[in-house]
Structure 1
Amino acid sequence: MYSLNAPPPSGVTALASELARDAPRAQARARGEHTLVAKRLGEGDHAAYARLEARAREAVRGTAPFAARVTGVERFETAVTGTSPVVYLAVESPGLVRLHRRLCERFDPVDGLEGDAYVPHVTVCRGGDPETARRLTERRIDPVEWTVDELAFFDAERGRSVSRVSLPA
């Protein structure tokens, strides 16, 4: 699966890693694996990816840098896919939500995850003890604010970014 992501800054990834240490039975994201998905684009081989990237670049053309802010620790009790619960850093970003909606006009939304169901977030950990997940959501954190000034095309199969686009696009 390819996606277009807003790379979270080191302050966000460090916070996610710190929180995950307090959930030892859960599967944590390794440093450098934290993502903030703007939109899943689809699957395919290298040729298909090239077409997906071209379409996405066209869709984001004219997008200016936008603000994002981690506001707290929350959880999905039952994940749409994968193991549950999912503890995450909630992200507030009207600019990211607008971008997501624009991308949903060009790429079909994934049922239960995108469109009206879209929740901007950075995953801290998955699975493990539900009580530990609940306790993590009670943590008070200092907000982390940043400006999203680039987007990364991400290859989930390989677990890495394959290209980037600077904003304004």
Structure 2
Amino acid sequence: MYSLNVPVPGRVAALAADLARELPGAHDRRRGEHTLVVKRLGDGDPPAVMEARAREVLADRPPFAVRIDGIDMFEEATNGSSPVVYLSVESPGLFDLHEHLCEYFDPIPKIEGDDYTPHVTLARDGDMAAAKRLCERDVEPIEWVVDELSFLDAEHGNEAGRVALG
């Protein structure tokens, strides 16, 4: 799967890694593996074609603010193991960009379009009671301005390029 992502700042990745330690038995993301998916672009076309199309769709899209403001979870994940504990994201600009991209790239059912929940995953699986306790914790909000997006090649697990906004 090829996707367009917000690069996660180091302080967000550090918070995610610290919080994941409180979820015994869970499969956490290692620092550098945290993502904030804007839109999955699919896997039907070659990556270069999807990337060129996305760059065209993103032309003149402005930078936007993002705020990490809490901890939440998907008790039953759409795909993969559950629960999925994550940092919740507030960003009208991110939602607007996601909707714009859904006009050009088909939304993935049950996770995109109206079902889109932007988040940074802390960990999957593990103890449900520990996950619920962690979700009750407050976190100091982290805000930043997104002025570029990255293309992620999930099959190879690496960033394949970046595109500037504005």
2:121 maps to 123
What is the aligned partner in structure 2 of residue 160 from structure 1? Answer: 158
TM-score normalized with structure 2 length: 0.98
1:24 deviation in Å? Answer: 2.5
Q: How does 1:1-169 map to 2 (within 5 A)?
A: 1-44=1-44, 48-168=46-166
Supply the distance in 2 between the matched residues of 1:59 and 1:76 (Cα, whole angstroms).
Answer: 31
Superposition deviation, residue 146 in structure 1 = 0.3
Encode CA deviations 1:107-158: one digit per residue, 9 max, x unaligned.
Answer: 1000000000000100000001111110110111100000001100000111
Residues 24 and 130 of structure 2 are in contact (CA less than 8 Å); yes or no, is this contact kept in structure 1? no
Name the SS for the 2:46 alignment partner: helix
Task: Give the C-alpha shift of residue 8 in structure 1.
Answer: 1.2
Q: 1:97: how far off?
A: 0.5
Task: Output the amino acid matched with 1:90.
Answer: S
Gaps of 5+ in 2: none
Report the alpha carbon displacement of residue 22 of structure 1 after superposing the two structures with TM: 0.8
Look up the equivalent residue of 1:92 and give its one-letter code: E
Q: Deviations over 1:43-76 (max 9, x none)?
A: 15xx711110111111111111110000100000
**Preserved CA contact (<8 Å) 2:24 2:127:** no
Runs of 4+ in 1 over 2 A off after TM superposition: none
Q: How far has the Cα of 1:11 moved from its partner?
A: 1.1
Q: What count of residue pairs does the alignment treat as equivalent?
A: 166
Whole-angstrom CA distance in 1 between matches of 2:8 and 2:146: 8
Q: Which whole-Å CA distance do the structure 2 matches of 1:42 and 1:144 have between them? A: 30
- The one-letter code of the counterpart of 2:74 is F
Offset of residue 167 of structure 1 = 1.7
TM-score (norm 1): 0.96
Specify every segment of 5 or more residues in structure 1 that has no aligned partner in the other structure, as ranges. Answer: none
Take 2:164 and 2:76, find their aligned partners in 1: how far apart are those partners?
35
